[in-house]
Structure 1
Amino acid sequence: MAQRSEYDARHLSVLEGLEAVRKRPGMYIGSTDSRGLMHCLWEIIDNSVDEALAGYASTISITLHPDDSVEVSDDGRGIPVDVEPRTGLSGLEVVFTKLHAGGKFGGGSYNAVGGLHGVGASVVNALSARLDAKVTRGGKVHQLSFRRGEPGTFAGSRATPDAEFSPAEKGSPLEAVGKAKRGVTGTTIRYWADRHIFTPDARFDDEELVNRARQTAFLVPGLRITIRDERGTEAVEEVFQFDGGISEFVDHLTPDAGVTDIWRIQGHGGFTERIPVLEDDGKSQMQDVERDCEVDIALRWGTGYEATVRSFVNIIATPKGGTHMSGFEQALLKTLRKSVEANARKLKAGNDKVEKDDVLAGLTAVVTVRIAEPQFEGQTKEILGTPAARQIVTKVVSKELEARLNSTKRADKQQATTLMEKVVAEMKSRISARQHKETQRRKNALENSSMPAKLVECRSKGVEDTELFIVEGDSALGTAKLARSSDYQALLPIRGKILNVQKASIADMLSNAECAALLQVIGAGSGRSFDLEAARYGKVVLMTDADVDGAHIRTLLLTLFFRYMRPMIEAGRVFAAVPPLHRVEVIHSGRKANEIRYTYSEAELNHLLADLESKGLRYKEPIQRYKGLGEMDADQLSETTMDPAYRSLRRIRVEDAEAAERVFDLLMGSVVAPRKDFIIEGSKALDKERIDA
């Protein structure tokens, strides 16, 4: 019989103060990997940003030191250093050692901030092997040091967490270490994350830090943020300062050509909130408090179909949204649905209803609200929970957006019409894609569905090993038919250069024969409705001629994939064939057969010929120069470009497609001025011998 274990009060554990943070760090910072390490840094930075947001700071400096420490300084008011009456400790020690302590609990020091739980600085302190805080205030420089949350003094002049530490015995160990000029204030925090807490691979993410600094500079106009990285052989410094506002932020985020200008929506609303208020006798009483919610939104619709929406509460990012985002999306849908229904006949919208995805397609927006003491879901502040924010944002956005859509100004009227046409086109595309998907479910895609007549199908019905070659023209198709392996290689010829989908609308793209055929053959839909699992081929290979026209066609195809079938690229299933430019037949004496060598560039050809001459080998002249795939015979095309045993393929990555789209937007987009500048600048380096005329 198992022994009965005892369980009484002496078995209970009580974690005091910061001990709870060190015991359960994930509860406060989410995780102990790089994400948690960055969260600690944001807690310190956001305290400085709150000073700037309140109008007391104009510069913030962030320094990454070689010894794995990070330093954040600002020119704000400085953390209070006088004695806090209840605890008998200095304000600086209270902030860094007591959970739920700070100046953001309605004491009048801050109006709208992000750090509301009062655990940010103390949690960072608890999870640091060493933390040094310097405060410039009242003409003096005060310093206080901590080891794993415990105040005290480190020996030696060199700042290191391994230095000998003496814990504070009585009173606050805060000391004045210098004098400051009159009126100069600020706070500097330097800390070393405790590597006993964080995982060994936890690192500060440089890219995330830069993006966050840039984002904050957009959200607080005039704030100067400097990031200095001293961890490499040479220090790297970046400075961010934007005198504009979130309108500039939207302009920075926009990935495509505009359907509308950047529209700014601003307003506010009041609400009553019932909160507990601490009385002088220490008792808590529920009281009704009047709050104000300020709404500031910048938005713009572009020609694309993906939505880029960033939301913030008191400049704290809320990547998972919350009540303010619910109100924003509700207002967009309600207002645009109403406008489309009012103009249904003109827009040929029929009786179908506009849905949220139709409205969000191509939208770039920055949604910000400012609320005193907002309710967040958890310390990581990723979701706003204040219920009243939804109704206020909905009301403000509905009113302002409706006024913009019904404006009688010529420019506003034209943009409103273009926007509604885009929304209707997205609605029709969604309905068409859904119907197509339902049809595909009812049919066998390889046997019963009606595929384009020009498709040369393969025999295999599996997806993983099959390949679709998109070939340029009928002449290349004829050779490719003989060169392919009909078991698993399918062919789809395209006639010349396909539609420039960079400028064309979704409706134009769907009505274009070449684009429609390609979408139909791949069989996975397009845009938001693209379903990678429904794709009929494991690989798609763009096989175009090795000349300027071939590169142009490949870029057009890449743009189509990037804009409407991006999951194919992200999954690494789109490739570019690498056909040769030259065929060199090396002559061997005697009975040894001549050797065939292929080269893929002029430089490679010159290197080969020089190598043959150095070895005393001859080659047949003239050297065959392929002007197109159709000039190859089937054996040559198979050996060089199609047979997996010999060919080379270039995998198209997302960054390749993005670069191609940027270049294509420059060369073929609707904005003329940048293209003109590019041509004039490029003409200086033009080699006249390369002109084929």
Structure 2
Amino acid sequence: MTAEYSAHHLQVLEGLEAVRKRPGMYIGSTDSRGLMHCVWEIIDNAVDEALAGYGSQIDIVLHADGSVEVRDRARGIPVDVEPRTGLTGVEVVFTKLHAGGKFGGGSYAASGGLHGVGASVVNALSERLDVEVDRGGKTYAMSFHRGEPGNFAGPGPDAPFTPFENASELRIAGRAAKGVTGTRVRYWADRQIFTKDATFHIDELEQRARQTAFLVPGLQIDIADERRPSTGSGTEGGSGTEADPGPVTTSYRFDGGISEFAEFLAPDAAVTDTWRLTGAGTFTETVPVLQAGGAMVPTEVERVCEVDIALRWGTGYETVTRSFVNIIATPKGGTHQTGFEQGLMKVLRAQVDQNARKLKVGNDKLEKDDILAGLTTVLTVRVPEPQFEGQTKEVLGTPAVRTIVANVVSKALTERFASTRRDDKAQTALVLEKVVSEMKARISARTHKETQRRKNALESSSLPVKLADCRTSDVAQTELFIVEGDSALGTAKHARNSEYQALLPIRGKILNVQKASISDMLGNAECAAIIQTIGAGSGRSFDLDAARYGKVILMSDADVDGAHIRTLLLTLFFRYMRPLIEAGRVYAAVPPLHRVIVMNPGSKPNETIYTYSEQEVHTLLTKLQKAGKRWQEPVQRYKGLGEMDADQLAETTMDRTGRLLRRVRVQDAEAAASVFELLMGSDVSPRRDFIVSSSDRLDREAIDA
């Protein structure tokens, strides 16, 4: 470090050198997220071709050596010489930043690759990249090492590399069948750039492929993961067999488009059919255009924005929104999402005002949350050269799109509500009833919150009779144990510390709320008792600050029925009291499975050891046998909490100094929701398939028979 600062301290990073110096500017990060972003860049180039009408098949292969390959059957990257640079089209695309066919040259009406840095950035951050192009009856090939073109002496990134010295060469690697065109890109990510723990996540890749197949009807995307061989059973699309295991392959193709996508995303039963709102609008914007002489001249151009929306209302209160620009996901929204919500609000407020007397609304006004409750939306727009905030393209910034989307939504929904068809009239009436009921529930909850103070255990007169409450009102210290059955309750009463531990028994298996309606859930005595005891409400009106207990601990037997009861309880918390889980305040108690009494010689007292699994008890007994120690036979196995006496239950499960708790977290709400729907939902056939395919993983010793 020096105080001197002059021009010779400045650095000019040329071309791909800038990418390697500051990769985060281009791919966000150098962990798994950045690694996956590189995959999307190559895949999106192939998808843009399909979106333009060229090619209906994309193959993605995760090779066992850590490389990724993307193949398409589109037009193929141009192989002729680009006149300004004197380089072939392939080398321009993979070595020059801000170069490509998506800057208004007429090759693409709308595309996801907009900045001309996708393929070149991936090349710069790859230890090796091979590209093959089929065009004009020939197969052309070129290889790169960290962005530099040259020749490798063998396969893989560790092969000796010789860079081109005088001029680059796009070699002819073979002949292509007549009429066959396409591009194949295979690359090895540079481990000098990415962190050691950066890995390709197959779940994210499959989710993105499924999403893209929904957005481009008729496009088939096949994924082959050669890192994990298939066993030939239980894997969707698995190509291997038990005798000849092959890679796990999955295929995605949906001809129903975004209507089918909305049905797939919807987490609840339908109130309406899936409505399609389509339209287009034009706008003008001034953009710099490169003239023949090399000058950039501001030019006013007219753009066309196409809007296609699929939406449906469901019986629940969750909002699911997916927005896309030229099939690129915009998870943080942007002007198109703002316009959609603006148009939706305008139409529904007008409809509620027109039917105010019938709906008994009074002077209350709808808010955005009232309308979005239970709404599943897939919003797509196609815009030439849209403006995004950053290379990651998470937020659309083109201002004119907001007005166009709002006008399309307003016009299409107004026509729907004005329709005289019997089906449309019935569905629009249900929508108005739903949004008004959500508005009334919101106002009622707010009024209740403003006028009622939270009551502690001594003040409350409405707590369930069977609740054995604690004495302290300090929420940070209190714990609510939800116990299975009265027999466990009797033991737990003697085992607990009544100063801060409360007990609520439930009888048997509570209602499966994944299938039941809200009214059925609230009418169920056990569910109502749990919600009443916690004291923070349920659903949208749930107030985490009003919860009466700092920890909610599910204490069920260590058998199959106990696991089922725990699953039912977690379903209730996940659907109607999710903030408790998100705050890390829901736990599952871990009672022991076995008690081993080790017999010590002489007057030395015997030692009691608890184990929590079959494997653990076998390991313990083997260890004791090797040490020459004896134990009391038979080893006691607890099938229920009621078999323990109070001292044992306190020591192993309830006493803070020695117990083991398992915290329930929601790291991925969507994944958790899909698992709950699979295990507890009303659709039986996927659950049956899951049980059949997973039967080989079942530990039969864990079944009480």
TM-score clears 0.5: yes
Kindly indicate whether the alpha-carbon contact (under 8 Å) linking 2:536 and 2:548 is maintained by their aligned counterparts in 1.
yes
Distance 1:229 1:14 in 2: 41
Partner residue, 2:4: 5
Secondary structure of residue in 2 paired with 1:306: coil
Stretch of structure 1 that moved more, 634-643 or 40-49 = 634-643
Partner residue, 1:169: 166
Number of aligned pairs?
673
Kindly indicate whether the alpha-carbon contact (under 8 Å) linking 2:559 and 2:639 is maintained by their aligned counterparts in 1.
no
Distance 1:198 1:191 in 2: 14
Partner residue, 1:243: 255
Kindly indicate whether the alpha-carbon contact (under 8 Å) linking 1:128 and 1:192 is maintained by their aligned counterparts in 2.
yes
1:156-555 paired onto structure 2 within 5 Å:
156-170=153-167, 172-232=168-228, 234-438=246-450, 445=456, 451-452=462-463, 454=465, 455-471=467-483, 480-493=492-505, 501-502=513-514, 505-506=517-518, 515-543=527-555
Partner residue, 1:154: 151
Q: 2:677 aligns with which of 653, 656, 662?
A: 662
Secondary structure of residue in 1 paired with 2:473: coil
2:446 aligned partner, one-letter code: R
Secondary structure of residue in 2 paired with 1:389: helix
Kindly indicate whether the alpha-carbon contact (under 8 Å) linking 2:154 and 2:160 is maintained by their aligned counterparts in 1.
no
Stretch of structure 1 that moved more, 259-268 or 338-347 = 338-347
Kindly indicate whether the alpha-carbon contact (under 8 Å) linking 1:558 and 1:660 is maintained by their aligned counterparts in 2.
no
Q: Which runs of 5+ in 2 are unaligned?
A: 230-245, 598-602, 617-629, 692-702
Deviation, structure 1 residue 213? 1.2
Partner residue, 1:56: 54
Q: 2:38 aligns with which of 34, 37, 40?
A: 40
Deviation, structure 1 residue 292? 1.1
Task: Check 1:145–1:566 CA distance in 2 against 1; reply closer, same or farther (3 A cut).
Answer: same
TM-score using structure 2 length:
0.81
Distance 1:618 1:83 in 2: 85
Task: Check 1:443–1:145 CA distance in 2 against 1; reply closer, same or farther (3 A cut).
Answer: same
Cα-to-partner distance string for 1:625-653 (whole Å, 9 max, x where unaligned): 99996x99867876786556787766556
Kindly indicate whether the alpha-carbon contact (under 8 Å) linking 2:283 and 2:302 is maintained by their aligned counterparts in 1.
yes
Stretch of structure 1 that moved more, 240-249 or 534-543 = 534-543
Kindly indicate whether the alpha-carbon contact (under 8 Å) linking 1:33 and 1:198 is maintained by their aligned counterparts in 2.
yes
Deviation, structure 1 residue 582? 12
Distance 1:578 1:200 in 2: 35
Secondary structure of residue in 2 paired with 1:321: coil
Deviation, structure 1 residue 110? 0.6
1:540 aligned partner, one-letter code: V
Task: Check 1:46–1:470 CA distance in 2 against 1; reply closer, same or farther (3 A cut).
Answer: same
2:44 aligned partner, one-letter code: D
Cα-to-partner distance string for 1:184-237 (whole Å, 9 max, x where unaligned): 111111222222222222222221111111111111111121222223465222
Task: Check 1:414–1:479 CA distance in 2 against 1; reply closer, same or farther (3 A cut).
Answer: farther
Distance 1:457 1:114 in 2: 58
Kindly indicate whether the alpha-carbon contact (under 8 Å) linking 1:426 and 1:506 is maintained by their aligned counterparts in 2.
no
Distance 1:49 1:380 in 2: 17
Partner residue, 2:698: none
Distance 2:320 2:107 in 1: 34
1:318 aligned partner, one-letter code: T
1:662 aligned partner, one-letter code: E
Task: Check 1:665–1:300 CA distance in 2 against 1; reply closer, same or farther (3 A cut).
Answer: farther
Task: Check 1:399–1:468 CA distance in 2 against 1; reply closer, same or farther (3 A cut).
Answer: same
Stretch of structure 1 that moved more, 400-409 or 242-251 = 400-409
Cα-to-partner distance string for 1:249-278 (whole Å, 9 max, x where unaligned): 122222222222222221111222222222
Task: Check 1:674–1:158 CA distance in 2 against 1; reply closer, same or farther (3 A cut).
Answer: closer
Task: Check 1:336–1:578 CA distance in 2 against 1; reply closer, same or farther (3 A cut).
Answer: same
Root mean square deviation of aligned Cα:
4.6
Deviation, structure 1 residue 490? 1.2
Deviation, structure 1 residue 514? 5.5
Q: Which runs of 5+ in 1 are unaligned?
A: 586-590, 605-614, 680-689
Task: Check 1:347–1:635 CA distance in 2 against 1; reply closer, same or farther (3 A cut).
Answer: farther
Task: Check 1:658–1:43 CA distance in 2 against 1; reply closer, same or farther (3 A cut).
Answer: closer
Secondary structure of residue in 2 paired with 1:231: strand
Stretch of structure 1 that moved more, 493-502 or 23-32 = 493-502
Deviation, structure 1 residue 322? 0.6
Task: Check 1:547–1:144 CA distance in 2 against 1; reply closer, same or farther (3 A cut).
Answer: closer
Kindly indicate whether the alpha-carbon contact (under 8 Å) linking 2:596 and 2:632 is maintained by their aligned counterparts in 1.
no
Distance 1:491 1:285 in 2: 75
Deviation, structure 1 residue 598? 12
Task: Check 1:475–1:59 CA distance in 2 against 1; reply closer, same or farther (3 A cut).
Answer: closer
Distance 1:156 1:675 in 2: 52
Stretch of structure 1 that moved more, 351-360 or 542-551 = 542-551
Tell me whether 1:26 sits opposite 2:16 in the alignment. Answer: no
Distance 2:652 2:62 in 1: 51
Kindly indicate whether the alpha-carbon contact (under 8 Å) linking 2:596 and 2:631 is maintained by their aligned counterparts in 1.
no
Partner residue, 1:686: none
1:63-82 paired onto structure 2 within 5 Å:
63-82=61-80
Task: Check 1:381–1:566 CA distance in 2 against 1; reply closer, same or farther (3 A cut).
Answer: same
Stretch of structure 1 that moved more, 128-137 or 398-407 = 398-407
Distance 1:70 1:672 in 2: 37
1:99 aligned partner, one-letter code: L
Secondary structure of residue in 1 paired with 2:504: strand
Distance 2:648 2:402 in 1: 66
Task: Check 1:269–1:461 CA distance in 2 against 1; reply closer, same or farther (3 A cut).
Answer: same
Deviation, structure 1 residue 348? 3.9
TM-score using structure 1 length:
0.83
Task: Check 1:336–1:546 CA distance in 2 against 1; reply closer, same or farther (3 A cut).
Answer: farther
Kindly indicate whether the alpha-carbon contact (under 8 Å) linking 2:641 and 2:649 is maintained by their aligned counterparts in 1.
no
Kindly indicate whether the alpha-carbon contact (under 8 Å) linking 1:584 and 1:624 is maintained by their aligned counterparts in 2.
no
Task: Check 1:236–1:443 CA distance in 2 against 1; reply closer, same or farther (3 A cut).
Answer: closer
Kindly indicate whether the alpha-carbon contact (under 8 Å) linking 2:143 and 2:152 is maintained by their aligned counterparts in 1.
no
